[in-house]
Structure 1
Amino acid sequence: MRLDNRCHLRTVAGEHIILQPSATTGGDLRVVAFNETACLLWKTLCNSDFTPDDAVQVLLSHYDVDRATATRDVAIWLQTLRENQMLVSE
């Protein structure tokens, strides 16, 4: 899978957000807030194809968490991306 390259990560007033242009109208944007963990995953994986296990490995290498916690967090992150149509090539 791959992150939609039309989406852009921005930090505004200390908050991490993803800006996603509307697929149907030229000027509308969808805004999705990300926490630090989601932001790390986005920054690390934004320019490559990846698997859920690749994302788990990112968390395991950056945080002191067990595999079960990292796997759960990645599943939640991926679900958020799917719900907001921010993944391509699934």
Structure 2
Amino acid sequence: MKIRENYKVRSIAGENLVVSQGQAGCDMTQVISLNQTAFLLWKELVGKEFEIGDAAKVLTDNYGILREQALKDAQKWVDKLIQAKVIDA
């Protein structure tokens, strides 16, 4: 899977927001705000093909959590971004 190239993160009023660039007529009713952990995953994985295990490794490397918990958390992050059509699965 991969984060779609037309989506970028911009810091607006202290929030990390996912915005679509270069797409006329996009749905602006949905705002995606990334917390610190979600933003870390984004920074580490944007522009790359990745699997759930890759996202989980970012979490275990940075937070020292168990792999099982990291896999669950990574799956939730990916599921939300797939639902928002930000990730191509």
Would the TM-score normalized by the shorter structure come out above 0.5? yes
1:50 partnered with 2:43: no
Letter in 1 for 2:85: Q
Letter in 2 for 1:81: L
- Cross-structure match for 1:11: 11
Residue 56 of structure 1 aligns to a residue in which SS?
helix
- Cross-structure match for 1:70: 70
CA shift, 1:22, in A, is 8.6
Letter in 2 for 1:64: G
For residues 11-49 of structure 1, give each alpha carbon's deviation from its aligned partner in whole angstroms, at most 9, with x where no partner exists: 1222111012596xx154453111111100111100110
Residue 71 of structure 1 aligns to a residue in which SS?
helix
RMSD: 1.8
* Runs (5+) with no aligned partner, structure 1: none
Conservation of the 8 A alpha-carbon contact between 1:21 and 1:27: no
Conservation of the 8 A alpha-carbon contact between 1:41 and 1:58: yes
- Cross-structure match for 1:81: 81
Normalised by the length of structure 1, the TM-score is 0.85
Residue 50 of structure 1 aligns to a residue in which SS?
coil
CA distance in 2: counterparts of 1:38 and 1:56, whole angstroms: 12
Conservation of the 8 A alpha-carbon contact between 2:8 and 2:21: no
Give aligned pairs, total: 87
- Cross-structure match for 2:61: 61
What stretches of structure 1 move > 2 A for 4+ residues in a row? 20-23, 27-31
Residue 17 of structure 2 aligns to a residue in which SS?
strand
* Runs (5+) with no aligned partner, structure 2: none
